[in-house]
Amino acid sequence: MTARKIIIDTDPGQDDAVAVLLALGSPELEVLGITAVAGNVPLPLTTKNALIVCELAGRTDVKVFAGCEAPLSRKLVTAEHVHGKTGLDGPQLPTPKMALQDGHAVDFIIETLRAEPAGTVTLCPLGPLTNIATAFSRAPDIISRVQEIVLMGGAYFQVGNITPAAEFNIYVDPEAADIVFKSGIRIVVMPLDVTHKALTTRPRVEAFRALGTEPGRMVAEWTDFFERFDKEKYGSEGAPLHDPCVIAYLLKPELFEGREVNVMVETNSELTLGMTVADWWRVTDRAPNALFMGDVNADGFFALLTDRIGRL
Ligand code: BDR
Ligand code: CA
């Protein structure tokens, strides 16, 4: 089996951390590098958190790069109200010893896509799309070399979580999202419509803890913390594990169901900034540019997560 090559672009975030662990616990995937971006918390913290997660997985060999510290043309909006002030609140966090790579994340993305055979690298964005859009704008030749983009962002039926109309990752950098959705690359989207069905429950969190390993304990403590926001705000049973849906799709696409639709991003209206206007009902003749997911087999998803985190 040849492992599928991926670059994870991320703003950890407890759910980002779980996504990275899922990838590192899965032999079907080769993580070429992790590129940090500003999002849930500012860039110095998302970068540090990416290092913490690699060390937790015992993978100090993974290349971690710092990327863009602010959206393309807007002021950064962060989400400490969800993730806490470190971005990974919950357990006591170690100070990472592992070194950050020299060089900028955007250069790494460009150089990797140029160096690897065309059509063999998948991009997995788990945060605002600033690094990816910057790479595409600076080096348009790499666009046709991307195998696929599988990203967490947007919403249709669930509409918004940071404003009434927009999901956080797209809202933070709508201009970047616009560039990515117009790139012509095959895009698989994990919107809130899916991730709000991938909810932690007591038995699911206890299954992580019962692994009896350090990654299992950390994931349980992260999800314990992360849950409190959604339980209070939405009255839901637990927290949505948004970002791991991206990695789970690469491993078991049959867990997800969606539609090929056209998705456009609102970049002008103050009221609906960052809205993903998905033509779910095909009411326009705009050509589909994304596989927009709508459903997940949550039991299968959590079984996969627990199994792979247990391998670390
Ligand atoms: C997304 O925003 C972040 O807070 C999460 O990490 C996820 O990527 C959900 O809207
Ligand atoms: Ca994220």
Provide DSSP, 22-74: HHHT-TTEEEEEEEE-SSSS-HHHHHHHHHHHHHHTT-TTS-EEE--SS-SSS
* Ordered strands of the 146-152 beta sheet: 64-66, 29-36, 4-10, 121-125, 146-152, 187-190, 290-296, 256-261
At 232 the pLDDT is 79
Of 20, 15, 35, the C-alpha closest to 83 is: 15
For residues 37 and 43, the answer to whether their CB atoms sit within 8 Å is: yes
Please name which ligand lies nearest the alpha carbon of 40: 1
104: which DSSP letter? B
Residue 79 Cβ < 6 Å to ligand 1: yes
Q: How far apart are CA 294 and CA 299, in angstroms?
A: 16
At 233 the pLDDT is 78
Provide block-wise average pLDDT over 10 residues at a time, the chain (312 residues): 96 98 98 98 98 98 98 98 96 96 98 98 98 98 98 96 97 98 98 96 96 98 88 82 98 98 97 97 97 98 98 97
The helix/strand/coil state of 291 is strand
Return the ligand 1 atom nearest residue 40 CA.
4
CA of 240 to the centre of ligand 1 (A): 9
CA of 2 to the centre of ligand 2 (A): 27
CA of 173 to the centre of ligand 1 (A): 13
Give Cβ neighbours of residue 228 (< 8 Å, ≥ 6 apart). Answer: none
Q: Which of 81, 83, 104, 242 is catalytic?
A: 242
At 227 the pLDDT is 85
At 251 the pLDDT is 98
At 5 the pLDDT is 98
At 111 the pLDDT is 98
Active site residue 83: no
Instruction: Choose the residue to mutate in 46, 126, 132, 169 for probing ligand 1, maximizing ligand atoms within 8 Å of C-beta.
Output: 169
pTM of the predicted structure, to 2 decimals: 0.98
Please name which ligand lies nearest the alpha carbon of 152: 1
CA of 152 to the centre of ligand 1 (A): 8
Of 28, 30, 84, 36, the C-alpha closest to 61 is: 30
Of 151, 142, 150, the C-alpha closest to 119 is: 142
Return the ligand 1 atom nearest residue 79 CA.
4
Return the ligand 1 atom nearest residue 240 CA.
9
Return the ligand 1 atom nearest residue 13 CA.
6
In the beta sheet, which residues pair with residue 278?
Answer: 263
At 235 the pLDDT is 79
Give Cβ neighbours of residue 62 (< 8 Å, ≥ 6 apart). Answer: 24, 31, 33, 34, 54
Residue 46 Cβ < 6 Å to ligand 1: no
What phi and psi values does residue 135 have, to the nearest 5 degrees? Answer: -60, -45
